Structure 1
């Protein structure tokens, strides 16, 4: 299946997901993330600010802050590049051109200073294949990142094998956590 069509199908499936089913799966994903080795050994966690169709990242951010982890959120810039900025009281967020809340101030953290990145996406496989939103921001960022990566997949986002073309520049995540 073409990536664009598959993205549209997955988004439609996520939107159609019954709220109680979505919440049950989300709670399972959060619990499994918080019990994971990657989470428990990290001091600095990078996580996106979720949109309405994505798994809500607020509980992840709150849990990281409660655990005294340093929370970083992405900021995009020209050339389809991104960096991660510490989320502090001084950082102001505004909607990007994609409707994602991003920091408009604050200094970026070097990649080697990030222990764990919770990588977003639309589809995932057990081997860590990932279908993102099409911008390539995470693939570019992860190409030379040496820390831990994890993705959280609702049932509608989990595929036994990729139903999309996996390109050589597509970076796999190290761990995909599922609700089942």
Structure 2
């Protein structure tokens, strides 16, 4: 999710100040996506530049509320109806870490897997405790975010089990260092 679309969704509820947007954004994501106020105002400036929101006259205390425009509503509707592409997801640092651990001399890959499994299990337990505390119907947005995090943690544990099983059958190839030509040698050939 982009902050841009999150702010548009919040402004669809009605005009808000930047600080209000930050607070409601964090509440809506259960605190899993903290925003700093500078990020909110930078995003609002871009949204205003793109004519997706407009600033209203200053209110009490000199704060300026923002409201969504018709173009902003169209952008938001398009975002809600467009599936999230897997290619839009950030790189998976854990997968990259394990790939490098396999090819870096002296790294105990099983220990890396075990350390991650322990951390993921602790996180999963914390998510489960949080889930037990939210039974109110108004908590549904937060519960859905929390459920997604629980499912992702469970999937990570299953993937780590798979990695560990694969390591049992893995025979590392001999480590080789690529031969590097002195600079300029390739161009002389």
Structure showing the higher helix proportion among its residues: 2
Computing the radius of gyration from Cα coordinates, the structure with the larger value is 2
Higher share of residues assigned strand: 1
TMscore range, shorter length: under 0.3
Q: What is the TM-score of this pair, normalised by structure 2?
A: 0.22
| Higher RCO (CA 8 Å, separation ≥ 6 residues) | 1
The TM-score, its normalising length taken from structure 1, stands at 0.23
